[in-house]
Chains A and B, each alone.
Chain A
Amino acid sequence: MSASLSESFTIPVGPLHVALEEPMYFRVDVEGETITGVDINAGHVHRGIEYLATKRSLAQNVVLTERICSLCSNSHPESFALAVETIGGLKVPERGAYLRVIAGELKRVASNLFNVAILAHLVGYEALFMHVMQVREDAQDLKEAVFGNRMNLGAICIGGTRYDLDGETTDIFVASLDRLEPKIREILSTYKTNGSIQRRTREVGVLRTDDAEACGVVGPVARASGLHHDIREAAPYHVYDRLPPEVLVLEEGDVWSRALIRLHEALDAIRILRAALKDLPDGPVNLGEIPEIPPGRAVSRSEAPRGELLYYLKTGETEEPERLKWRVPSFPNWDALTFMLNGAKVADIAIIVNSIDPCISCTER
């Protein structure tokens, strides 16, 4: 429908682009408004954290991994600690395991709301953006009240958690969830019904189930494309076998269903939080002094807000790990962008890229 220019041309999207929060670079071939080819280019901000990790002791690496990414700042030390505990044969006390679930799910609420808010911003719906960010602010306040920090919670240590909940904090927690839940329900129904959102996100950036499988996508992107995959359910860690998530799977595979899955998971996280707070057992929150970790290798997986986060750890005779490697959910999802962007409109580039909730600071480790 749009007046197309006779010649096709190439436009650079990124590495610095107002609509992309982080430096990533796409070379997009365009004909008129339609994308005919995409070249995804990674490596603009190589950070060298994996190398840095081999120069730090295991305990220091808990702090380092927390700083890989701000939005999944709990999932990284969580997975790292799981790997260390596997090598050392450590058993996290039950209360500690529950508290880890609580920290992780609270981060999930805030992270998913953030992504959904950015979606509203990208379609130009500033009022909705502001509203969702305001609701997210409630989650941020709650994090600050419980952990003392808004982003990096500092909740995880090897062998358990560094924080504990007393009666008063638990009451604040529950009251805050009570305030948060109806607001998120309202946001969910807005995204389900609002014309502006639907117009720009339905049947946009579609990732078909077989393409999704071929790319090995994870997290909400996979679940929106009809793949039933959640590490919390497939390979329960902590106490997720007792607090199973309700995995929602949609078939459409478009930007809209990804947003709905994220909102559903924010609501589900609140349900899990409530259950975990109710069942929270007594006892120590961590193992206290950690015995020496023997040489060995381990892989651990956890479900970060963006999907499966995988850690590989190889320890040696020294305090420092010989190798620490992680595969973040954005890595396989990033690849799937080629399928989503092909044939899409220029106007939808930012919306589609945002729909995988890319985290470049994790990916370009």
Chain B
Amino acid sequence: MRLTILALTALLWGCAPDSAPPASPPPTPSATAPQPATAGPAVTDAWVRQVPPAARMTAGYLNVYNPGPDELVIVGVESPLFNSIELHGTFVVDGVARMRHQETVTVAPGETVRFEPGGLHLMLMQPVDGIPSSGAIEMSLVLDEGERLEFLAPVGQPGG
């Protein structure tokens, strides 16, 4: 009996040492937008990618939370700093990245939709006076019933 316990202990001890690979945390935007104080739909973690001054366009990312009982349908995006902003999605299929225009993006009740690199994003085009390389960009999501969700998206790089 003692032998069995000893052997078992030895076996368990032998198996215990580190085997799990360290999990690398996902990149997080360096700056986050303030969360609206209302109980309505919330835009969080908004940011706009800092790009070279010569870039003609950039991408915006954010999370949209829908606490309500009904679907929230985003039909457009506006900003005083860009003449055109579209909802886009990057889809990687068989290793090939495809970027496609999305007419609308729907957030189901109780759900959060994440716009993030390599996935859904706001494509910011036709800057009024160049793409800002710092500061924050005022934007608003236009919902299907005409409501607008205003938010501020700091310009930066993911992960600081």
Q: Are A and B associated in one complex?
A: no
